[in-house]
Amino acid sequence: MHLEFTGDVWEWRGPAPFSFVTVPPEQSDAIRDAASLVTYGWGMVPVTANIGATEWITSLFAKNGAYVVPLKDLVRKAEGIGEGDRVSVRLTLVIGPQ
């Protein structure tokens, strides 16, 4: 399954800060429908993600009825992304062994 969307980067300021983009409701619903085929422990959904020219492997997780995409420091630095920036994200759900 391939999905594309645009979202704002936000930061969770816990013990170690992390940056995320929230998947919009329509795409979150599509992920939820497919999650039983791909999910592993705690409802994590493995994906290949792309922003700009950067591709990485990560896992989505559910938050407040939607899914969120974690943005690694490597990705943010490579694409010049900061908190509050609007980014276009492409996701491919990973089905099968990783």
Predicted confidence band of residue 96 (pLDDT cuts 50, 70, 90): low
Higher-confidence residue of 71 and 97: namely 71
The tokens for 30 are 């599509």
Q: Average pLDDT for residues 10-28, to the nearest whole number? A: 88
Predicted confidence band of residue 16 (pLDDT cuts 50, 70, 90): low
Q: Which residues contact 17 (CB under 8 A, 6 or more apart)?
A: 11
Each residue of 31-90: pLDDT tens digit? 988 887 776 667 789 999 999 999 999 999 899 999 999 999 999 999 999 999 999 999
How many CB atoms lie under 10 A from the CB of residue 64?
Answer: 8
Encoded amino acid at 7, one letter: G
The rounded distance, in Å, linking the Cα atoms of 31 and 3 is 9
| Predicted TM-score (pTM) of this structure | 0.87
Contact 87, 51 (CB under 8 A): yes
* Domain 2-93: homologous superfamily in CATH: AF2212/PG0164-like (2.40.30.100)
Contact 47, 71 (CB under 8 A): no
Residue 98 has pLDDT above 60, yes or no: no
Residue 28 has pLDDT above 70, yes or no: yes
**The predicted structure's pLDDT at residue 94:** 80
**The predicted structure's pLDDT at residue 2:** 94
